[in-house]
Amino acid sequence: METHSRIGFGRVALTVVHLAFLGAFGWAALSIVVSLVALGLSLVLLAGLGLVVLVGVVYLLFGLGWFEVQRVHGLYGGGAGPLRWQPRVGPGFKGWLMATVRQSVDGYMWRALLSFTLATVCGVIVLWLAQLAAWLLVVTIGGGQAVRRPMNFMGDFSMNWVTHPFWSGLAARGALALMMLLAWLHAVIARSLLASPTRRALTAEVRTKTAQREGAVRAAEVERTRIERDLHDGVQPRLVSIGMTLGLAQQKIDEDPAAAKALISEAHTSTKAAITELRQLARGIHTSVLDDRGLDAALSALAARSHIPVRLDVGAETATQAQVGASRDAEAAVYFSIAEALTNAAKHSRASECRVTVRLHDAGTPAATLWARVEDNGIGGAVVQPGGGLDGISNRVLAAGGTIRLDSPHGGPTALEVSVPCAS
C-alpha cells in the first residue's frame, strides 16, 4: 500500500490556483456532458443516432477523467497509475464496442470524474472567498466604512457589512484561511479517490501477478520440452552418428586409409552441422545480438534468416528509444514472440510475405510499452494449442506482464499483436 507524503503549504497554494481555474471553467465541461447525455438518450429511438452520441460521451468522460488523474498525480505525485482506455479482447468492430462498454463502467474513470466534479464545486467556493477577501482587504486599506456589498458571483445576493479596519482585516484573513483549508481538504479527498489503491485494485494486481507467475512457469515448461525434443530428435542422433563414423574410420585407418579419410571427412561435415543445430538451439534460448546490438539488429538478423520474405518496420526513432526505454525482459519477450510467429508462418500459413512492425509507445514514461505486430498473407485459421508455438508466445508475453491478440480468420490473413510493458 502506497504511503502518502505530507501536503506542504506550496502544494496547498498551488491547489488553490487549480481550484480557481476549475471553478471558472469546469462547469462548462460538466454542462456539455449533461447536455450530450440528455441528447443521446432522447435520440436513442431515432435510428440509433443516440448511441453514437452516447459513445462520444464515453470518450468525453474518459478525457475529463484522464485530465483529472494527470492533474492530481502531477500536483501530489504517486497514484494508482494513469487512466487508460480498456484494451480490446476481440477483433473488429465487436472488440472495439465491447472495450467502449467496459470503459463506460470503469470504476477508476468514475472516481476521477467524481474528483473533477468536487474540484469544480470547491473552485466555485474558492472564487467566492477570493472575491470576498479582496473586497475586505480594500475596505481595510481604505480605513473601514459601512457598506452594502453585492456578491455578484453568487447571483443576486447581498450582505450588510458594518466594517472596521480591524474586523475587516480579520475577516479577510479568515476568508484566506478558509480557502487554504478547502484546498487542503480537496487534496485529501482527491488523493483518497485516485492515489490510494482500492481493495479491488489490489485484488486485481494479485491476480495479475499470479497469472504472470503461472505464465512464466508454463513458458519455462514449454521451453524445456522444446529443448529436450530438439536435442533428442536432432543433435543427439547426429552426435551418435559422428561417434560411429569416427569408430569406423579408426578401424580402417591402417588397412584402408582412403576409406578412413572419407569417413573422417563425413564426420567433419556432420560435426559442423551439429554445431549449427546447437547454435540455433542456443539462439532459441538466448540471442547474444539482442544484448550486443539491440532489438533492431536482432530483428534484422531474424528477418534475414526467415524462409518467408519479411518486411521489417522498426523505425529509427523507435529503435533508438528502445535501446534506452525498453527493459531487457520486454525486448526478449517481443523478439522471441516475433521469432516464433515467423516460424509458425513458415510451417503452416503458406504465406508468401510477412510484415513485422515494432513501436515503442509512451516512451520515457512509466506507462511505456513495446508493441509489435506480425502479419502474413497466408490461409489463416491459426489457433492456440497447448504446448504449441502460439501457446509459448502467450505464456512468455504473459510472464512479462504483457498482452497478446490473435486475429486469424479462415482464409487469412493472420495478425498477431503483442504489447509488453517496459518498466524494469
Same domain for 105 and 91: yes
| 110-149 pLDDT tens trace | 888 998 999 888 888 888 888 877 777 766 666 555 444 4
Same domain for 6 and 145: yes
| 3-state DSSP assignment of residue 103 | helix
Tell me whether residue 206 is in a domain.
no
Same domain for 408 and 317: yes
Same domain for 305 and 334: yes
Residue 23 CB contacts under 8 Å (≥ 6 apart), including other chains: 120, 122, 123, 124, 125, 126, 127
Tell me whether residue 205 is in a domain.
no
> Would you say 222 and 392 are in contact if contact means Cβ atoms under 8 Å apart?
yes
Same domain for 231 and 296: no
- How many domains does one find in the chain? 3
What residues make up the domain containing 419? 288-424
Same domain for 148 and 16: yes
Mean pLDDT of the region 266-284: 72
pLDDT band for position 224 (50/70/90)?
A: low
Tell me whether residue 202 is in a domain.
no
Q: Which of the 8 DSSP states describes residue 152?
A: G
Tell me whether residue 160 is in a domain.
yes
Same domain for 135 and 58: yes
Kindly list the distances between the CA atom of residue 1 and the CA atoms of 9, 95, 109, 204, 205, in Å, as whole numbers in the listed order: 25, 34, 20, 14, 12
Same domain for 300 and 262: no
- Domain stop point among 151, 167, 197: 197
Tell me whether residue 280 is in a domain.
yes
Same domain for 168 and 31: yes
Determine the pLDDT at residue 279.
67
Write out the three cell numbers for 169. 482585516
| 2-53 pLDDT tens trace | 444 566 677 777 888 888 888 888 888 888 888 888 887 777 766 567 788 8
Residue at 14: amino acid letter:
L
Tell me whether residue 20 is in a domain.
yes
Residue 290: Cβ-neighbour burial (10 angstroms; 0-12, 13-18, 19+) = buried
Same domain for 417 and 390: yes
- Domain stop point among 256, 285, 314: 285
- Domain stop point among 146, 166, 197: 197
Write out the three cell numbers for 183. 484546498
Please state the pTM of the whole predicted model.
Answer: 0.50
